[in-house]
């Protein structure tokens, strides 16, 4: 099992900072965001809940005493409102690889 199995990172253009709802991500404010070396990109991290297959559940409504049924559709839940499929969403291993590139980390001078 991989580390941070339900955590995701979304790389977004720096211009989208004002669209981030910081109540929906791990970062606390715009100042806490890491930026790419050229300052054009940043990212947010958040937890997702992955539902592998659609299921139905029934529970008793305590107010009416009647059974209520709800269906949970397969999908990924918990993404922040800034999420868009036009941006790349990364898992832990992939974001570590990205952040090790020269786009995100200055090379160590010898």
Q: Computed from CA positions of residues 101, 37, 31, 50, in that sequence, does the dihedral angle turn out positive or negative? A: negative
pLDDT, tens only, 84-107: 999 999 999 999 999 999 999 988
| Residues 43, 27: Cα–Cα separation, whole Å | 9
pLDDT, tens only, 55-86: 999 999 999 999 999 999 999 999 999 999 99
């Amino acid at each position: 099992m991989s580390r941070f199995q339900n955590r995701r990172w979304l790389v977004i253009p720096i211009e989208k900072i004002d669209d981030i709802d910081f109540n929906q991500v791990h970062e606390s404010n715009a100042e806490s965001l890491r930026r790419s070396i050229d300052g054009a990109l940043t990212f947010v991290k958040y937890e997702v809940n992955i539902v592998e297959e659609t299921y139905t559940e029934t529970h008793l409504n305590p107010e009416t005493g009647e059974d209520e049924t709800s269906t949970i559709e397969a999908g990924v839940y918990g993404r922040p409102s800034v999420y868009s499929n036009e941006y790349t969403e990364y898992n832990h291993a992939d974001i570590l690889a990205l952040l090790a590139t020269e786009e995100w980390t200055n090379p160590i001078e010898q």
